[in-house]
Amino acid sequence: MTPLAGPVHAAALVLLAAGGAKVLRPAGTSAALRTLGLPGSRAAARLLGATEATVGVAVLAGAGAAAAATASAFHVGFAVVATVLARRSATCGCFGAGSPVTGVHVATSLVVAGLFAAAVVDPVASMAAAVGDTPAAGLPYALLVGLLAAGEVLCLTALPEAQTAARALTP
């Protein structure tokens, strides 16, 4: 198993979760799309979310270089969108709800894009195969992936909110 497997699977889980959140709660994403001058209907937000979730599932299923390349391209796009939204002091709809956008969004998106790009060159097996290849019925691996995914979510939600709150307190 490649050392990329854990971080790639974690990032794919976040992609799946974020896509699912957009499908279930499209309002924040709709607003972000309108801020960008794009069609911002709930249907458009849900379509984006469904596509995002599908790419996450494909990576988790071990679909190979094409899935990893698509996930990388999504994250480059997320970095561009985050840059524009941050300059406009707008919120994102990363997880369906609007969160403040900061440089953390841009940096996280670029790091994850690089991670998926590396998986194009060094393919990652499916999450099921990785779990099956690890001891204790894959529990340590699944725990690691879950912790990495939670860390990424915190970088995209709680950390920007804390940064925004801290700026508001600064005289």
- Please report, as a single letter, which amino acid is at residue 159: L
H or E stretch at 97: strand 97-100
Region for 89 from its dihedrals, namely left if φ exceeds 0, alpha if ψ lies in -120 to 50, beta otherwise: left
* Residues 25-73 pLDDT 10s: 999 999 999 999 999 899 999 999 999 999 999 999 999 999 999 999 9
pLDDT in tens, the chain (171 residues): 788 999 999 999 999 999 999 999 999 999 999 999 999 899 999 999 999 999 999 999 999 999 999 999 999 999 999 999 999 988 888 876 777 888 999 999 999 999 999 999 999 999 999 999 888 888 999 999 999 999 999 988 888 888 888 888 877
Please state the domain extents for the chain: 5-169
- pTM above 0.85? yes
The 10 Å Cβ neighbour count of residue 3 is 10
Say how far apart CA 169 and CA 58 lie, in whole Å: 43
Residue 145 · residue 122 · CB < 8 Å: no
